[in-house]
Structures are given as C-alpha cells and as structure tokens.
Amino acid sequence: MTFQQVYGYEPTVQYSAPGRVNLIGEHTDYNDGYVLPFAIDRRTVASIGQREDRLIRVASAFEPDAVHELSLDELDPSRMQGWSAYVFGIAWALREQAGADLSDKTGFDVFIDSDVPVGAGLSSSAAIECGVALAFTDLWELGLDRKALARVGQYSENHAVGAPTGIMDQSASLLGEQDAVVFLDCRTLDTAVVDLALEANGLEVLVIDTRVEHAHATGGYKARRDSCERGAAAMGVEALRDLSVDDLPRAQELLDDETFRRVRHVVTEDQRVLDTVRTLREQGPRAIGDLLVASHASMRDDFEISVPELDLAVETAMAHGAVGARMTGGGFGGAAIALVDREARGAIADAVTSAFASAGYREPTVFTVHAAQGARRD
C-alpha cells in the first residue's frame, strides 16, 4: 500500500527518521542521567500531502485498510488511540508543549512506512514521532530546533500515548550522525557527538531481536520509574543523577533491598556511560566490551528487566567471540546488541540462532546496523 493508493494523489513531500540503538545507558534518561545512543540505518518514512482544511488523516503500510482522522480543532489525547496517536500526539504536543499557534494552520494527509522493527527495543515509536515532528515544524514554519522537537516527541509519548519514557530516543533520532554516537546529558540536553570508528576498527553492531515483544505503556516500566523516584526522594536528591557510586553504601542503609538495587543500577550505569565515552575517545571501540557486559549484568540482576532470551543472546554472543554484548532498550523483551568483528558476524549470528532453537525459543531475527544520520527531509 502506498500514499497514492490510500489518498488518490501523490504526496507533496517526504520526511524520514531513524530508529536507534542505545550503545549504553539504560533507564538513566528519566533519572536526569547520561545516555549514549546512535541513530541506525533503519528508517520510518512519512509521506505527506498538504490539505486545505483542518483535518489530519493518517494511514500506514502496516495497517493498510484503516485511515484515522482528527481535526486540528479536536486535538486531545482522549480522542487518540492506537498507533495513530504517535502522529496526532505530535500535532497536539507542538501546541501544548512548544506553544505553537495552530489556529490558522491547515492539515495534512500522512502515510507512514517503516523498516524499523516494531517491539524490538529499537524505538520505532520515536522514529514516527521525529519524522512527523520535523515535517510538521517545517511545513507549518514553526521555527523549532531539533532539541525542542525532542522535547515535543517525549511530551507526546508521555501524555498522548501514555508511555512514561525519557528523552533519549527522540534525541538520538533527531541528532544522530554517521558512524558516531550521541552523548546526551538528559538534564541539560547538552549533546556531544562522539566518534564510534567501528568501520576503521573492523567492527559491526549485531542486533539480536528476540521477538519477545514488550509494551512500555504496561506496568513493568512504570514500576521501575516509581522505584527510582522513591530512591531519589529517600536520598534527598532531585534525581538519581545527583548520586555517585560513593553514595551507594548510604543508599543501602536507607533503602529496602529492591529499591536499593534499582538505584544501584542507575548510579553505576551513569558511571558506565561516562567511562564508555572516555574509553571511546582514548582507546577506541575495542576497549568498551567489559562495560557493555557489566551493563547487561546490572539490568539483569539489579533492575530485573532482562528475560531469558536476552540473557541467552548475550551469553552466546560472548562465548563465540563478541567484543561485548548487552540487552538494549527498555527491557522485558526486545533486542540485544553485540559488538563483533566483521568477519565473525555470520558465525555469531548462527550460534545465537542455534542456541535459541536448542532452548525451544522462537527464532530470533539477527541483523547488523550502522550509525546513521538523524531525521531529515528526503
């Protein structure tokens, strides 16, 4: 199905935005901490036609028989449902969060197509939000910069979609660059592009999509976030970002065991992000493997967001020569990543697939990704 088949005319313009892989820094973003994602060469494309009335119509290649519509005069989360809320929510958030005056604006016909796997922890949702946010901002001439659009995307996902996510995914999708990671301070939104240099080092990132689907709008993610807020309050800080590894003995005295382990993950993960940035700059990507493995262990044991399939993917990749491996994304399913030598890619992928078959799990989808450019007008 195409834009032309749905709407009966050719689109005026096309925008695209990438999914993302988080190299390291999981569940640190909503704790005002540090993250290190990169945009990937899997993209969501928004084809758009300008309308003369105030209607926004939305269709997609993955739900070809449905066209959702909402007037700019009726924008409210209560009127949005399903995946189309990722599009309508952006228009609403541009008005509510960024203060855009939409009173004299006309609507659009929007058609979404994507090769970002859904439910794999590669942020297919942020790819929709960021492509649409850039498009609407350009076409309505709102003059917002990319950092402002990241906040719009997060606000929409939190309040229109109802998923309590941080700002990492949108920042990566909007700010990504070729063969580089985005070092993001989630409190200040200061960013620095750090060279990954995978190509020069003969390395690739292998994504192992376990095909165990997760949903951030359900309870596990929210429960972790609540634990972090309780931990920060008990420690007398605004956010867990304000604690260091040196504060953990006091935290262990003050907090119940579960809350302490949630706090310990975030505090040590923040430190691992900083260590990874320093290591990339000083020694290059071959030296970060132990940090990736430590991150996975922390998510498995302290934050308890891994699943057996993710653990098996990481263990098998490491046993067959990966430089480092960890689950990536919000957890409870989704994908793991492995940093691998280019020549070993096929053997590691085969080993993981065989291990899944032996364990009686669904066959994983295994593919490589490369750090790519962020959202753009195509």
Question: Could you state, in order of their start, the residue ranges of all structural domains in the chain?
Answer: 3-194, 196-369
Decide if 52 contacts 61 (C-beta within 8 A). no
| pLDDT band with cut points at 50, 70 and 90 for residue 217 | very low
Decide if 234 contacts 262 (C-beta within 8 A). no
Q: Of 120, 300, 125, 124, nearest to 208 (Cα)? A: 120
Lowest mean pLDDT among 93-102, 155-164, 208-217: 208-217
Lowest mean pLDDT among 127-136, 161-170, 285-294, 312-321: 161-170
- How far apart CA 132 and CA 370 sit, in angstroms, is 23
User: What pLDDT is stored for residue 166 in this prediction?
Assistant: 79
The stretch 75-92 carries a mean pLDDT of: 95
- Sequence-distant (6+) residues with CB within 8 A of 170 are 126, 129, 130, 149, 150, 151, 153, 154, 157
The stretch 322-351 carries a mean pLDDT of: 95
Q: Kindly give the interhelix angle for 345-359 and 308-319, rounded to the nearest 10 degrees.
A: 140
- The response to whether 29 counts as a known ligand-binding position is yes
What top-level class would CATH report for the domain 196-369?
alpha beta
The stretch 121-125 carries a mean pLDDT of: 84
Respond yes or no: is residue 195 known to be catalytic: no
- How far apart CA 186 and CA 22 sit, in angstroms, is 14
Q: How many residues does the chain have?
A: 378
- Sequence-distant (6+) residues with CB within 8 A of 226 are none
Dmax (CA) of the chain:
66
- The response to whether 122 counts as a known ligand-binding position is yes
End-to-end CA distance of the chain: 20
CATH match of 3-194 with 2.60.120.1440: no
The single residue of 169, 209, 270, 302 carrying the catalytic annotation is: 169
User: Mean of the per-residue pLDDT values for the chain?
Assistant: 95
